[in-house]
Chain A
Amino acid sequence: FSSSGYRVSSNGNAAKFQPPPKPIIVDKQKQKEEKRFLSPEFIPPRGRKDPLKFYIERKDMIRRRKVFNIPEFYVGSILAVTTADPYASNKASRFVGICIQRGGRGLGATFVLRNVIEDQGVEICYELYSPRIQAIEVLKLEKRLDDNLMYLRDALPEYSTFDVNMKPVTHLDHEEIPVNKLQVRMKPKPWSKRWERPKYNIKGIKFELPEEKMKEAQKWSQPWLEFDMLREYDTSKIEEKIWREVNEELKK
């Protein structure tokens, strides 16, 4: 009769020896490196310009980013921007809205925020590197099905209204950015642009148009465009190089 293999637990029942659970080591450094985000305004456009010009512009952009934090955000995230305004009462004005478009490259990069305030749709185009911007907060970080949400102008106003005093939604570092697969319902036609046409390639609208209209819109499709080799602009290698350069400079 040996009792080495048996332990008496607090309940009094004989329980087998359970080894302590192994500690889960979460290597935060590795996880942060895996997540690579390069802001789209760093990628130089295709053209005949001297790469030295983009290098110098990037140095200026990094200098601004060291002093002022420009967070990571995508088209479809909800931001709050405070700018210095000489004519406002507090000398600062705050605007909350959904980012519908990110345009421009280099120091002139812009983003457009849209909101509906007291039944009036308002869009403001801010420059990312303008010195008048005092703070950019991301209230909700998410992506949408499209890169350009200009169709929200012709969508029902409920899809563009956001609470001005909404609380920021926390987003953990290691989680992937959620993609909001919302399909938006539109106001009756006429729209500002014919969004059903294939050139806009919109996935985020729930088209309630009759079948013939959708078929007629496909007449303007250009299926040869995706095979056009002269239009290809592979940015993967350029992005990697620039990402490494930008990260090194920011760490200094």
Chain B
Amino acid sequence: MMPIWTKSGKKHAVTLLKVQDCHVLKYISKEESGGKTSKLLVGGKNTSPFYKTESAMEIFKAAGVPRKQKVTTFNVTEDALIKPGTPLYAAHFRPGQYVDVTAKTIGKGFQGVMKRWGFKGQPASHGQTKTHRRPGAISTNKAAKVYRGKKMPGKMGNIYRTSFGLKVWRINTKHDIIYVNGSVPGHTNCLVKVKDSRLPTYKDCNKNPPFPTFFADGDEKLPEDLYDEEIFQFTDPSVTY
């Protein structure tokens, strides 16, 4: 995470996400998947092809791509289909766009009810016998049962969670890095899924996105760094009012 300053002098915290060897793996049509739209399977970081069965490696062999550590699905419309095997770069996103970032949260193990659900517990003194961090009552008398989904101690973390509506401040095309506003679920160097935001406020945010994606061997030559308009460039003199 890094600080970023706007032209008015305000500071924002930014998370750096690196796009590491992303390739499109497979195209699943609408009828095959049974959903509303067709799907594209996308794979992340490269890992070793050993320690995996032949059947699992079939998808990677068909796309002609080394084995990936993580495979996710994206729901895509018919006009945005990409051929399996094409690499995906950070320039697919542009500064000023809003994204949702999904990742597995940091696993905290088996945790009690105070840390997991934020219960208040009981006082430390004034006669409490062996009861300081317990949940207390779990249901009422009339119910005569405990409802499903009752908040109780259990394994906390290590589940997929999404941060919605994060602004993209800057894109580094040379090293494939996306600068995303605020914090993102997951530990450092964990694998993360970045999608265009589904929030209704940001529906019309992206004016000219690279459609269907940014192709490195295409005609467009991008500069090494793409900035949002509001970012203070370090080559400018200091801010004055």
Any A CB within 8 A of the CB of B235? yes
Interface residues on B, range: 20 to 34
A108-B2, A108-B3 are contacts. A131–B239 as well, Cβ < 8 Å?
yes
**Cα–Cα distance between A64 and B232 once the two chains are bound (Å):** 11
Q: Which residue of B lies closest to A134 (CB)?
A: B238
Taking A53-B16, A63-B235, A85-B241 as given, write out 12 further A-B residue pairs in contact, using a Cβ cutoff of 8 Å, ordered by the A residue number: A49-B188, A67-B235, A67-B237, A84-B9, A84-B238, A84-B241, A108-B2, A108-B3, A130-B11, A131-B236, A131-B239, A132-B9
In the bound complex, do residue A130 and residue B5 qualify as a contact, i.e. CB atoms below 8 Å apart?
yes
| A48 and B188 in contact, given A107-B3, A108-B2 (Cβ under 8 angstroms) | yes
Inside 8 A of A53's CB, which chain B residues have their CB? 2, 16
Q: Give me the interface of A with B, judged by CB distance under 8 Å.
A: 47-50, 52-53, 56-57, 60, 63-64, 66-68, 84-86, 91-92, 106-108, 127, 129-134
Main secondary structure of the interface of B (DSSP, over half): loop
- A86: contacting residue among B177, B232, B241, CB under 8 A: B241
Q: Inside 8 A of A130's CB, which chain B residues have their CB?
A: 5, 9, 11
Tell me if A67 and B18 are in contact (CB < 8 A).
no
Q: Mark B164-204, 1 if CB is under 8 A from A, else 0.
A: 00000000100101000000000011000000000000000
Q: Which 4 A-B pairs have the closest CB atoms?
A: A63-B234, A86-B241, A64-B234, A131-B239
B70 to chain A, nearest CB (A): 17
B172, B232, B235, B239: the one within 8 Å of A56 (CB) = B172
Residues of chain B contacted by A52 (CB below 8 angstroms): 18, 175
Chain A residues near B240: list those with CB within 8 A: 84, 91-92, 134
Tell me the smallest distance from the CB of A28 to a CB of chain B, in Å.
Answer: 30
Q: A68 CB to closest chain B CB, in angstroms?
A: 6
Q: Pull 26 A–B residue pairs with CB atoms less than 8 Å apart, ordered by A.
A: A48-B188, A49-B188, A50-B18, A50-B189, A52-B18, A53-B2, A53-B16, A56-B16, A56-B175, A64-B234, A67-B235, A67-B237, A68-B237, A68-B238, A84-B239, A84-B240, A85-B241, A107-B2, A107-B3, A127-B11, A129-B234, A130-B5, A130-B11, A131-B239, A132-B238, A133-B238
Residues 209-240 of B, flagged 1 when their CB comes within 8 A of A and 0 if not, give 00000000000000000000000101111111
Taken together as a complex, chains A and B put the C-alpha atoms of A63 and B227 apart, in Å, by 15
Q: Which B residues lie within 8 Å of A134 (CB)?
A: 238, 240
A91 and B232 contact, CB distance less than 8 A: no
Considering the complex, give the chain B residue whose CB is closest to the CB of A48: B188
